Amino acid sequence: MILTVTLNTALDITYRVRSLRPHTSHRVSEVTERPGGKGVNVARVLAALGHEVTVTGFTGGATGRVVQERLASVPGVVDALVPITCATRRTIAVVDDRSGDTTQLNEPGPTVTPAEWSAFQEAYEALLPTASAVALCGSLPPGVPVGAYAGLVRTARSAGIPVLLDTSGEPLRRGVAARPDIIKPNTDELAELTGSHDPVRATQDARRRGAGAVVASLGAEGLLAATPEGRWRAAPPSTLHGNPTGAGDSAVAGLLSALVEHLPWPDRLTRAVALSAATVSAPVAGEFDRRVYEELLGRVTVTSEASAA
89-96 vs 102-106, strand pairing mode = antiparallel
Contacts 24+ apart (CB under 8 A), 145-149: 145/117, 146/170, 146/171, 146/174, 147/171, 147/174, 148/7, 148/117, 149/174, 149/175, 149/178
Cα distances (angstroms) measured from residue 152 to each of 105, 170, 251: 28, 15, 21
- Asked if 238 and 261 touch (Cβ cutoff 8 Å), the reply is no
| CA–CA dist 232, 273 (Å, integer) | 12
3 state DSSP class of 269? helix
DSSP 219: G
3 state DSSP class of 198? coil
| CA–CA dist 58, 198 (Å, integer) | 36
- Asked if 291 and 214 touch (Cβ cutoff 8 Å), the reply is no
249 as an active site residue: the answer is yes
Q: Which of 205, 249, 267, 289 is catalytic?
A: 249
Instruction: Name 290's Cβ contacts closer than 8 Å, sequence gap at least 6.
Output: 48, 278
| CA–CA dist 61, 9 (Å, integer) | 12
The residues annotated as belonging to the active site are 249
